[in-house]
Amino acid sequence: MKEDIKMDTLLSLSIALIAGLLLILFGANYLVDGASSIAKRFGLSEFIIGVTIVGIGTSAPEMVVSFISAFQGKAEMAIGNIVGSNIFNTAMILGITAMISPLIITKSNLKKDIPLNILVTVLLILLGLNFTFTGLGKDQLSRIDGIILLGIFAWYLWSSFRSDSADDEEDSEIKNYSIGLSALMIVGGLAGLICGGKLFVNAATEIAKIFGVSDKFIAITVMAAGTSMPELATCVVAALKGRGQLALGNILGSNISNILLILGGSALISPLSFTGMSVVDLGMVLTCSVFILASAYLFKKKKLDRFEGIILLLLEAGYMWYLISTIN
């Protein structure tokens, strides 16, 4: 009888989890479309719209899940979601994308995006493990740390505006909607993000309790994969169209935004304890960041092809095996 009740509860929670994720994904889509339409009406260039509204919009699922987790005092979920997303983005999504079509590493990637991705990952580890490295304070992202991360993100946006984007700009088609419809899409998108985020986080928390696993485990696996679906779809489509460099740029931009904007904002809401993060978790996210740089020089120069794709997928598989093997 208890087993039947448990299965019914698990089924209901799984449906709620999927429903929450769908609300998040559709909400992000409508929010981006509505905001992009209004921005275009005010004369903003497609590049600026891409860097700000669309770029941040693809990270909206991670943002809403981590912000809600921070509001609820669930630090492991807020951090685990971002750490897991960055690992999934690089190892799984770039791995799959490289298997479809080689990813050219551009000069812009080598000069700015890849080094910055590595630097912000190292900074996250140093700030989060402050006590471990210095013996001072706590192993957490404080509100001051959050301000630092958000300040760097502001600089990142500013430098993106100043860069020459003509060579890398995608043939995007921003639809023109009426002001009223655009506003409705924005409001509806935000509602979907907030309601879906709460549903997703609460369902994931209850599922973790049923299986007796930590919030971090659910966040770094199920939640991270779920919130990375926009990046997966964008990168696969870009690869199929033979525009792999756009896929690489999307992932690098998403990973940088995840750390600077989302964890920065989450820490500002509530300090995030790093005690639930293991050396393997943080080492894996750093390894993935460094691997892209290494691929530009150690293998086929300035390219991620199927060989590197296989290595990335094996890294993801090995990490998943580690997580499953450490479940108490």
Encode pLDDT of 221-272 as tens digits.
888 888 888 778 778 877 887 776 677 877 888 899 999 999 999 999 999 9
Per-residue confidence (pLDDT) for residue 192, from 0 to 100? 85
pTM of the full predicted structure? 0.83
Cβ atoms of 111 and 118 within 8 Å: the answer is no
How many contiguous H segments (helices) and E segments (strands) does the chain have? 18, 4
The CATH number covering residue 296 comes to 1.20.1420.30
Q: Which pLDDT does position 115 carry in this prediction?
A: 93
Torsion of CA 107, 112, 114, 116, to 10 degrees: 170
Mean pLDDT, rounded, for 199-223? 85
**Interstrand relation of 272-273 and 140-141 (parallel, antiparallel or unpaired):** antiparallel
Buried b (16+ CB within 10 A) or exposed e, 210-219: eeebbbbbbb
Find out whether 254 and 231 touch, Cβ atoms under 8 Å: yes
Q: Is the pLDDT of residue 170 over 50?
A: no
Mean pLDDT computed over 139-153: 94
Residue 193's CB: how many other CB atoms inside 10 A?
26
pLDDT at 189 > cutoff 60: yes
Predicted confidence (pLDDT) per residue in 283-317, tens digit: 999 999 999 888 887 765 678 888 899 999 999 99
pLDDT for the residue numbered 234 = 75
66: pLDDT strictly greater than 70: yes
Q: Into how many domains does the chain fold?
A: 1
Residues 101/306, Cβ–Cβ less than 8 Å = no
pLDDT for 11-54, tens place per residue? 888 899 899 888 888 887 787 788 778 877 777 665 556 556 66
User: Looking at residues 135-160, what average pLDDT do you find?
Assistant: 89
Q: Which domain holds residue 143?
A: 2-325
Read off the tokens for 184. 């409705």
What's the rounded Cα separation, in Å, for the pair 182 and 153? 27
DSSP strands (E only) in the chain: 103-104, 140-141, 272-273, 303-304
Q: Is the pLDDT of residue 71 over 50?
A: yes
Distant-in-sequence, close-in-space partners of 248: CB < 8 Å, separation ≥ 6:
94, 97, 103, 104, 105, 106, 109, 292, 304
| Residue range 78-85: mean pLDDT, rounded | 94
pLDDT value of residue 167: 45
pLDDT at residue 52, as a whole number: 61
Q: With contact defined as beta carbons under 8 Å apart, do 88 and 319 qualify?
A: no
Taking only the tens place, the pLDDT of each residue in 109-137 is 788 889 999 999 999 999 999 878 887 77
